[in-house]
Chains A and B, each alone.
Chain A
Amino acid sequence: MSLPFLPFEVIISILLLLPARELIKFLVACKSWCAKIKSQDFIKKHLDTSVATGKSYILYLPSESKAAKTFTLLNHKSFCYEFELRVPFHLPCVLDCIIVGSVNGLICLTNISCFGHTIYLTNPSINKYLILPLSSIYRDEFDLRVIQLSLGFGYHEKTNDFKVVRIGFVEHDQSDEDDYEEATTLDHRYDFESKAEVFSLNTKVWKTVELSPNFFYKRHDTFSGVVVNECLHWKTIKSNIYEEKIVILSFHMGEETFQEIEYPKFHDEGRIDRSTCIGEFKSKLGLFTFCPVEYWFGPGEQPCQLWVMEEYGDKNSWTCHATIVLGILIHRPLSFTRNGEIVMQDRSGNTFCYDLTSNQLLDLNIQDEEHDMNIVDFTDSLVLVDLNDEPMGGEGAFPAGGHDFDEYMLMEQVLNDERIKFQSETSVPIVIAPVSSISRHCGLCLIVTLAPGFN
């Protein structure tokens, strides 16, 4: 009898059931397997299969293992420990990394010190990563005055693209004003300037986002992975001559424009101090509200509520979905899980997960005394499988891949890239400026900027 002949469609059905790290190994089986595994349509189907067959996890970077550089993965239903994944780059600055967001197997990371300047995208399942190229807008003196950078990371289904958004704002210096009194009047509230840019994984370049002259938002959530209706969302403060209030800033990942979404009208407005956290709740925009521990002196439980925007964009559709009694004092909500649970921490850094359906509060046994951890959903996927096979596009891009290079080499790389690039045009002096926040762990943190006037 002849050898059993397996139709290629059957081989594909089998390969779809394998974890991404196994598929990487089988790239060398033969050319047709390799081409299939790397195809966009296989990557997409594999991701769907991963979700359908329960290869979904809750992922975090434990503070105690930051030195060991491993992500911990928990089962997304039971929250039991499943396995660990090595952070696939060996920079000392990984020590103080924070997760900006995670979608379809791709994790966006940045450093806590010099937040938002160096950004990594990594798929730890297959040990691939890239460091985003230098900013297109924070190269001039603007970056020395930027007082806050906010990041967003999301996946845009329609264009099959991952996007990173960076918003920075700088408050204009009032110190040289003659009249200090004048500087403290209401007028100065909108005396600030914002800039925004978006990085697309498909094009691998940053693009400046045009902001309307009415972009009066400041002190955004520092990072967000909250995607609803093709848009990323941050909680922010709208501040202009007429008002100062909390709103939600949204960024449409297809149109690449910003919009504003109003907060709900709380029934007990003004009676309690309120903190809020936005998230995706069952494909809708959700808002978790609670009274911060430091303001809660009332008897009984700290009041918490979950609000849901039933019709996206319609401020009148905000509905109080649930009033929650937790039995713990919340210090910081972290995120909403894909199953509609809310992850939160108390003051001592104990981490809990609240299930709204069963009203159960589960202690995840995760300690985060420094309150700098983020917990995200994670799915096994092949995204970035093609990285490293061809050189990275985009000017000023760092080399990417599985190489070990330390931060000093990285700095060297920055300097060399910049030197080569600008020496070819004109001999421009390069200024190395220390940033105000020095890394707690590395002790060295520099940003490279051109001397003012050369942009």
Chain B
Amino acid sequence: MASTTETKQKKMLILKSADNDEFEIEESVGVQSETIKNLVEDGFTFVPLPNVYTKALIKIIDYLKKHANKTDSNDEEIKTFDKDFVNTTFDDLFELVSAANYLHISCLMNMLCQTIADRIKDKSPEAVRKIFHINCDYTPEEEAKIRKANAQAFEGQFDESLD
């Protein structure tokens, strides 16, 4: 049996990450995720998440806790929290956005997608390839053809940084 110290009035859930760590959270916090909500509605209290690693899950539980306690008065606090939350590397953002997508947490998904979109804006195509770990499958001739057909889009200086 899992923990027996849980309080009677609050329903609890256990989330299990891809690297087999278990986290206990309140049901009301967990159901902000559509995926978890559907499982809870089917009577599950133990939720294995084979696509979400511990590192991302800890951050996401933090996010869910913060947003579950949203009131009119802590609006500024949540804004600051969100700002810190997305202030991380692209690889971390990608892990978080994949997890948010799997867990169907739409407000987190929107925030992360918008953050990534804002941060890749003005980057060069080469930088974006590296950031997204894309192997370019164009031949140099094919790439030149696209660049020529859209010459104006490739004029000027772009941001080559990878952060």
Which A residues form the contact surface with B (CB < 8 A)?
A: 1, 3-7, 9-11, 13-15, 17-19, 21-22, 24-31, 33-34, 86, 88, 126-127, 388-389, 401-402
Contact = CB atoms under 8 A, between A and B. Distances in A.
8 contacts: A10-B98, A14-B113, A22-B121, A25-B125, A30-B137, A30-B138, A86-B152, A388-B150
A389 B149 contact: yes
Contacts of B137: 30-31
Contacts of B147: 28
A13 B112 CA distance: 10
Contacts of A3: 91, 133
A30 B136 CA distance: 5
Nearest to B155: A127
Contacts, number: 90
Nearest to A22: B121
Contact of B149 (A17, A25, A30, A401): A401
Nearest to B136: A30
A5 B138 CA distance: 21
Given A24-B153, A30-B134, A88-B152, 17 more contacts: A5-B98, A6-B97, A10-B97, A14-B97, A14-B117, A17-B114, A17-B117, A18-B120, A22-B121, A25-B158, A28-B138, A29-B132, A31-B138, A388-B149, A388-B150, A389-B149, A402-B149
Contacts of B128: 26, 29
A139 B37 CA distance: 67
Contacts of A126: 150, 153
Interface in B120-163: 120-122, 124-125, 128-129, 132-138, 143, 146-147, 149-154, 158
Contact of A29 (B95, B109, B129, B151): B129
Interface residues of B, number: 36
Contact of A30 (B129, B151, B153): B129
A18 B152 contact: no
Interface string B10-45: 000000000000000000000000000000000000
Interface string B68-100: 000000000000000000000001001101100
Name the residue in B114, B134, B158 with the highest tally of chain A Cβ atoms < 10 Å from its Cβ: B134
B interface majority secondary structure = helix
B53 interface: yes
Contacts of B58: none
B119 to A, nearest CB: 10
A6 B121 contact: no
A24 B158 CA distance: 14
Name the residue in A6, A17, A28, A30 with the highest tally of chain B Cβ atoms < 10 Å from its Cβ: A28
B152 A13 contact: no
Nearest to B100: A10
Nearest to B121: A22
A132 B17 CA distance: 59
B116 interface: yes
B57 to A, nearest CB: 14
Contacts of A9: 101
Contact of A34 (B53, B114, B120, B146): B146
A86 B133 CA distance: 34
A33 B128 CA distance: 12
Contact of A7 (B98, B133, B150, B151): B98
Given A127-B150, A389-B149, A401-B149, A6 B125 contact: no
A402 B151 contact: yes
B94 A4 contact: yes
Nearest to B142: A31
A22 B69 CA distance: 37
Nearest to B153: A24
A50 to B, nearest CB: 13
A34 B134 CA distance: 13
10 shortest A-B CB distances, which residue pairs? A17-B117, A4-B94, A24-B153, A127-B152, A388-B149, A4-B95, A28-B125, A13-B113, A14-B113, A30-B134
